[in-house]
Amino acid sequence: MVFDPSELARLAREKEDENLAFRRHLHDHHDDLHLLHEIGARVQAAFDCTQCSACCRETRVEITPADLTSIAAFLKLRPAEVRRMYTESTPDSTLLIAQPEGHCVFLHRGLCLIYEVRPTPCRLFPYLTPRESSLGARTASIWRRAHFCPIVFETLEQLKHRTGFHPKH
Contact positions toward ligand SF4, by CB under 6 A? Answer: 47, 49, 52-56, 61, 96, 104, 106-107, 112, 114, 118-119, 122, 125-126, 148-151
Q: Which is nearer to ligand SF4, 25 or 159 (CB)?
A: 159
Smallest distance, ligand SF4 to C-beta of residue 164, A: 26
Q: DSSP code of 104? A: B
Query: Amino acid identity, residue 137?
Result: A
Q: Which of 21, 32, 40, 38 is nearest to 155 (CA)?
A: 40
User: At its nearest, how many Å lie between ligand SF4 and the CB of residue 119?
Assistant: 6
CA neighbor of 87 nearest in space, from 65, 116, 108: 65
Nearest distance from C-beta of residue 24 to ligand SF4, angstroms = 25
Nearer residue to ligand SF4 within complex by CB, 30 or 94: 94
Q: Do the beta carbons of residue 109 and residue 123 sit within 8 Å?
A: no
Tell me whether residue 26 or residue 151 sits nearer to ligand SF4 (CB atom): 151
- Minimum distance, C-beta of residue 34 to ligand SF4, in the bound complex (Å): 21
**Is-contact 162 29, C-beta < 8 A?**
no
Q: Which helix (H) or strand (E) holds 45?
A: helix 33-45
Cα–Cα distance between 168 and 161 in angstroms, integer? 13
Nearer to ligand SF4, 23 or 57 (CB): 57
Three-state secondary structure call for residue 164: coil
Q: Read off φ and ψ for residue 108, nearest 5 degrees.
A: -135, 120
CB of 56 to ligand SF4, least distance (A): 3
Measured from the CB atom, the residue of 25 and 82 that comes closer to ligand SF4 is: 82
